[in-house]
Structure 1
Amino acid sequence: MPSIKAALSKPFAKLIAKRIKKWASQPLETQEKVFQNLIKKARKTAFGRDHNFDSIRTYDDFRKNVPIRDYEALRPYVDRVVNGEEDVLWTGKPIYFAKTSGTTSGAKYIPITKESMPTHVNAARNAILMYIYETGNIKFVDGKMIFLQGSPILEEKNGIKLGRLSGIVAHYVPKYLQKNRMPSLETNCIEDWETKVSAIVEETIKEDMTVISGIPSWVQMYFEKLIDKSGKKVGEIFKNFNLFIFGGVNYEPYRAKFENLIGRKVDSIELYPASEGFFAFQDKQDEKGMLLQLNSGIFYEFIEAEHFFEENPERITINDVKVGVNYVMIISTTAGLWAYNIGDTVEFTSLRPYRVIVSGRIKHFISAFGEHVIGKEVEQALREAIANTDITVNEFTVAPQINPSEGLPYHEWFIEFDIEPKDESKLIQKLEASLQKQNSYYFDLIEGKVLKPLVVTKIKKDGFQTYMKSIGKLGGQNKIPRLSNDRKIADTLYKLELTK
């Protein structure tokens, strides 16, 4: 017999699904309402006054008055907020800063306001409820759930609490889930990631875990430690584990490895959360892409990635996007981020409703020779190359080799295999074929003998974990870039003698 909580989850899921379908079926009206609300609320802020919000009536007015900014460009305003000033980017003061490690800015302080905080929490909840509504599966509701996340210990800066987003969100777990939730607060507060995962294994190994959530690369570490301790597959340890919730990276390169670690297939839900907002979640098990959250206080703009670095690229709304085009996503939010470039690129898989996949990062690409290879392309190439084989991959990244000791330049793939290919040349042929098919620029460079075919460099077991530890980014929300346009990561892998 399901508990009262499990039984109530079905009608609640039905109610939420009805609400979501309503705004998803009126996307343009929903976004226009969000847009007008944002402008109205922020008119009297410092940013609103500086950008003529009083005279903004239409999206065209907004485009003319508010330029696109990244964190560095918005930083003069953010610094004022951090220093305790009110009514700068949004009314009043934020209730939190989500602290992230910026590559160019040092620490970034992303404001979270009383208006924006609920959207982070509700989207994660709604993703699970939509899964219940679609599948009718409520068995997991009464079991234990684990969310591998950052420490919930928060610091304070000028009266505003700050910490990692996952640590902030940990304070908002609904009461009806708190008894089910693991790990304990004490374990969750452990800062050292390896120590923390070992402690989580000790706490959970004898529990009835039904839901496991986190970034795949770090969940993989947890699974491997469970197997080392018990000698059993994860699916044997947790017989009722049937739902994996993930975000942050594409799951496909990990899927075969995970199914091997678990010993069977489990359902999964993909999320697209970030410190700047919760943008999308998987609303259908059999549909590609995640439902874009159009009703969460976020107004979206898009710029074709191909034209992003031009002097005045065209900015469009969801009204003009097309399926299959690589876009840089620009957001304006109830946290006071305005025409803000979060750095992600997305592709629409559907316009009825609007669903997206994350295709990469606008700064994470290889274009040393004008090829502009993106994250989605290398992930797809690897997925196709290892399909219907025994090969499994733990982690990988790609970098250009511009100055080889001999011969033509090439793309170097650093791959940590769990099960290595029996025929490496065949793997390379498949990777090459897929990349050349997806990217005509890359094809032309290979055909024109500007580049030679890619090279695979094997990484030692746990080599990428060692690398992440060496740069102080082991665990939490940190992840390996799929590709880089320089050799910083590549050179460090060699320097640390992590190649085979």
Structure 2
Amino acid sequence: MASFKAALSKPFAKYIAWKINKWSSNPVETQQKVFQDLISSAQHTAFGKDHNFESISSYEAFQKEVPIRDYEDLKPYVERVVAGEPDILWKGKPLYFAKTSGTTSGAKYIPITKESMPTHIEAARNAILMYIHETGNSKFVDGKMIFLQGSPILEEKNGIKLGRLSGIVAHFVPKYLQKNRLPSLETNCIEDWETKVDAIVEETINEDMSIISGIPSWVQMYFEKLIEKSGKNVGDLFKNFNLFIFGGVNYEPYRSKFENLIGRKVDSIELYPASEGFFAFQDQQNEKGMLLQLNSGIFYEFIEAEHFFDENAKRLTIAEVKLSVNYVMIISTTAGLWAYNIGDTVQFTSLKPYRVIVSGRIKHFISAFGEHVIGKEVEQALKEATKNTLISVNEFTVAPQINPEEGLPYHEWFIEFENAPEDEIQFIAALEQSLQQQNSYYFDLITGKVLRPLQLTRIKKDGFQTYMKSIGKLGGQNKIPRLSNDRKIADRLYELKLTK
């Protein structure tokens, strides 16, 4: 029999679904209101004064006054906020800084404000409520739940607390979920990732886990340690585990591996959270893509990735986007980020309502030869090459080999297999064929004898974990880039290759 909490969640889920449907059915008006609220709220800030917010009454005027910026461009303003000055990017001072380890900028301090913080919490909650509304399944709210995350211990800088986003969010878990939530605060505060996972295994192995959440690569590590300790697959260990919530990377390369570790299929919900905002979540089990959060204090602009580096590249609103085009996503937010390039590329899978998939990073692509290969394409190639086979992949990344010792240049795939292909040549051919079919530039370079077909370098077991540990990025929200435009990662992985 369902508990009072489980029973109560259904009418609440119905109400939230009605609210979401209301704004998602009026996307352009919703975004226009967000835009106007942002401009009027920030007109007396230092940024607002520098960019004539008082005179901005249209999107066209905003485009003229506010250029696209990344973190480095916005840094002079951020440094003033970090120094404790109020009313710089947003009114007052932020509640927190989400500290992230940028690959190009060193440590980044992303402000989180009184207005932006609730949108992170609400989107995560609404993702679960939309699942309850769609499936009618609410039993899992009575079980234990875990989110594999960074430490909730926060530092302080000039009176403002700072930490990892997942650690900050841990302080906002609703009271009604607290007693269901694992691991304990003590375990969550362990900094060393491997020690932390071992402690989580000890705490959860005899519990009734119903929701498990985290970045797939790190959840996989948790699952493998559970199996190692118990001798059972995860589904037998946790009989009521039926919902996996994930974000950060595409789940498809992990799906078959997870089904083997769990021993059955479980429902999953994809999230698109970032320090800069909670952008989207999967609102339907059978729909490709995640519902873009148009009512969360974020105004979106989009630039076609193909033209992003052109001078005066055209900036588009939600009303102007098309399906299946690769866009760089630009945001302005209640945290004081203005026409800010977060570095992600997205594609729209639906325009009624607006749903997106994350297709890659504008900096994480391979175009060493003008091929414009993106993350979505290599993930799709891997999915097709392993379809209807016993092949399963733990982790992979791709890099260009521009100066080979002999022959033409090529793309090099570094793959750590859980279950390797019996016929490696056939597997490589399937990868190659899929990539050529998806990307006409790549096809032209192969047929034009500028490139030769891809090469495979197999990485030994746990090699990627060893690499991530060696650079101090094991666990938490850290993830290996699917693509690089240089050999920095590739050269390090060579030390971890499988010798046949």
State the partner residue of 1:459: 459
Q: Which residues of 2 match residues 194-213 of structure 1 at below 5 A?
A: 194-213=194-213
Deviation string for 1:137-177 (max 9, x for gaps)? 01101000000000000000000000000000000000000
| 1:291–1:354 contact (8 Å) kept in structure 2 | yes
Q: Distance in 1 between matches of 2:494 and 2:217?
A: 21
Q: Distance in 2 between matches of 1:304 and 1:94?
A: 32
| 1:457–1:499 contact (8 Å) kept in structure 2 | no
State the partner residue of 2:105: 105
Determine whether 1:72 maps to 2:72: yes
| 1:269–1:281 contact (8 Å) kept in structure 2 | yes
Letter of the structure 2 residue corresponding to residue 356 of structure 1: V
Q: Distance in 1 between matches of 2:222 and 2:483?
A: 25
- Long gaps (5+) in structure 1: none
| 1:493–1:499 contact (8 Å) kept in structure 2 | no
Q: Distance in 2 between matches of 1:498 and 1:164?
A: 35
Q: Distance in 2 between matches of 1:453 and 1:119?
A: 46
- Name the SS for the 2:451 alignment partner: coil
CA shift for structure 1 position 495: 3.6
State the partner residue of 2:189: 189
State the partner residue of 1:82: 82
- Name the SS for the 2:90 alignment partner: coil
State the partner residue of 2:339: 339
Deviation string for 1:364-418 (max 9, x for gaps)? 0111110010000000000011000000000000000111111111100000000
Deviation string for 1:185-215 (max 9, x for gaps)? 0000000000000000000000000000000
CA shift for structure 1 position 66: 0.1
Q: Distance in 1 between matches of 2:111 and 2:14?
A: 33
Determine whether 1:349 maps to 2:349: yes
Q: Distance in 2 between matches of 1:344 and 1:255?
A: 23
- Name the SS for the 1:373 alignment partner: coil
State the partner residue of 1:124: 124
CA shift for structure 1 position 494: 1.5
Letter of the structure 2 residue corresponding to residue 320 of structure 1: E
| 1:154–1:161 contact (8 Å) kept in structure 2 | yes
Deviation string for 1:224-282 (max 9, x for gaps)? 00000011100000010000000000000000000000000000000000000000000
- Name the SS for the 1:273 alignment partner: strand
CA shift for structure 1 position 498: 6.4
Determine whether 1:424 maps to 2:424: yes
Letter of the structure 1 residue corresponding to residue 48 of structure 2: G
Q: Which residues of 2 match residues 293-332 of structure 1 at below 5 A?
A: 293-332=293-332
Q: TM-score, normalized by length of structure 1?
A: 0.99
Determine whether 1:253 maps to 2:253: yes
Letter of the structure 1 residue corresponding to residue 60 of structure 2: D
State the partner residue of 1:180: 180
State the partner residue of 2:402: 402
Letter of the structure 1 residue corresponding to residue 63 of structure 2: R
State the partner residue of 1:154: 154
CA shift for structure 1 position 357: 0.1
Q: Distance in 2 between matches of 1:91 and 1:121?
A: 21
| 1:366–1:373 contact (8 Å) kept in structure 2 | yes
Q: Distance in 2 between matches of 1:458 and 1:256?
A: 19
Letter of the structure 2 residue corresponding to residue 157 of structure 1: K
Shift in alpha-carbon separation, 1:499–1:97, aligned structure 2, 3 A: farther
Q: Distance in 2 between matches of 1:21 and 1:257?
A: 35
Deviation string for 1:49-93 (max 9, x for gaps)? 000000000000000000000000000000000000000000000
CA shift for structure 1 position 497: 5.5
| 2:457–2:497 contact (8 Å) kept in structure 1 | no
- Name the SS for the 2:256 alignment partner: helix
Q: Distance in 2 between matches of 1:105 and 1:351?
A: 34
Determine whether 1:386 maps to 2:373: no
* Percent identity (aligned): 83
| 1:393–1:416 contact (8 Å) kept in structure 2 | yes
Q: Distance in 2 between matches of 1:261 and 1:434?
A: 27
| 1:235–1:262 contact (8 Å) kept in structure 2 | yes
| 2:112–2:335 contact (8 Å) kept in structure 1 | yes
Q: Distance in 1 between matches of 2:100 and 2:498?
A: 27
State the partner residue of 1:40: 40
Stretch of structure 1 that moved more, 230-239 or 488-497: 488-497
Shift in alpha-carbon separation, 1:91–1:200, aligned structure 2, 3 A: same
Q: Distance in 1 between matches of 2:455 and 2:478?
A: 26
RMSD, aligned α-carbons: 0.7
State the partner residue of 1:238: 238
Q: Distance in 1 between matches of 2:357 and 2:181?
A: 29
Letter of the structure 1 residue corresponding to residue 169 of structure 2: V
Determine whether 1:63 maps to 2:63: yes
| 1:3–1:142 contact (8 Å) kept in structure 2 | yes
State the partner residue of 1:415: 415
CA shift for structure 1 position 312: 1.1
Letter of the structure 1 residue corresponding to residue 295 of structure 2: N
Q: TM-score, normalized by length of structure 2?
A: 0.99
